[in-house]
Structure 1
């Protein structure tokens, strides 16, 4: 490949990804059970004093678009960081139980402790995500060969099933909490205002900064711990920093939109196909692809089964499950 091709192909891939994301944002504002023209959307966006049905629809769609962008970008970045951290091609907060643990922590805070403040609920979500991550890796590390990709996937599936069952049990015993979280439980960006972003944003930004600044660390860790230490890296501390970023991103995204799975699996693999193996490129590209994936999943979910909506978590599973089986079928279960 010539130098020109090596330069042009990544630039083209980034341009296409950004264009798909921008198109998703535009579609999210216009498409739904009620189609809106560009003139109506523009009028509603530029005149905040308007008080009519169209303005209310646009306001609701702006909120769910913002949530989709933030949750999708965070999950894509968390998945890429987790794959680099564990050198596991199946690394995804949804598959490895972290999203389910965050959801259980948040529902526990509401159903058992009566916590109604979102900033406090977020801390429970982060705690649940951390406990889930440690538990899954501890279980997968038992026996010979340590935490292999297959054992991590199995342990994550078992933990996700357990956490989801406990979450459902808590919701069933508290009808008020069930009414609040019944759609959130399957992953949704609808029905919540943009005001929920404020309390979550510091956690998302902190996690994103830790993950993106850890790109070089992940590239070094991909060479193996021994070589990383030989290059002067403190592998244990590096893993702790990147692991913290995954917990912050996955926990905060779950607090925003519920336990959406497979975004963290699909986005990094798509980024790797487009841009190569360097995490310096994979991490930011995973943010763009993850945001685009969730935004488009929300748009398609609004119109695929009218007059009802299919929640984002279901739509991403429709895409993610075939990708999961394709990775297993092609034998891409080794280290990254």
Structure 2
């Protein structure tokens, strides 16, 4: 699995420090490449963001940024800036390692919160990309470890087709953030990273599965989740395989993939639920789900499907949701009925149920 956590933050900080110390004697008063900040101001931004991320997670902030700022002491120079960046990265890595599973804190993009993995990925991105901005302005090049770039892309840019080879990872990340052209891909003048969506559903919370986690699930791993005994079930691994293929092809659409069904009381994952893709031209998206055997018969699937359906049908372009159920699967038929789906004409030898936006 493409790991993302404290180790990756420290690795990115070590790379940044090495690159920046090589140019510490140059003029950091010039503007960083592509930015309105000077190189020194860009370094201050990086350190400030890292401290803010640590503050968000430790303070469990949910409604906005914790109201404080970090600033260099007056008269600080490049060497001081590098030491502050290293210290700030150490704070983030320590906080990430001690943040319990399920904890989320405010970040505006795109859904108003992120978990520890998300803050780690954003911290790594800030370190790698702004080190590049500074280095370019000072006339040197930089290329971080390919595995770090690959992990950032998989965790923060699920809508972007990944690099084809390890040597392309850095160029793809630079392209994804509008910093460099990439042959065969359109220029990106505007971009945003994506933290996985979380949808509350009573006793269950639905957590969007990233391409990085899906790839691990597809080959028999846990996807970084703690599963109930007997999980994940076969359908979850099949869905993860579909996401992995869609991501590799560049057609994966965040929010319209798979969600892990996580029990709120103990952070145990009991199943998977999601979509076979985004809504089609008629506004129809197909839903699918399964539970581990040990979690069945407790109403988890119905609660989750109600919340997921309400969320989906409130999205632009979605007019109805379709569920296809085998005739002998009476338990699944009861789940969709409780979630407001009504039976329509069969699809070959399978039963079809629809919930529309007007239901």
- Smaller-chain TM-score range? under 0.3
Scaled by the length of structure 2, the TM-score of the pair is: 0.22
Scaled by the length of structure 1, the TM-score of the pair is: 0.23
Larger Rg: 1 or 2? Answer: 2
Q: Higher RCO, 1 or 2 (CA under 8 Å, sep at least 6)?
A: 1
**Larger % of strand: which?**
2
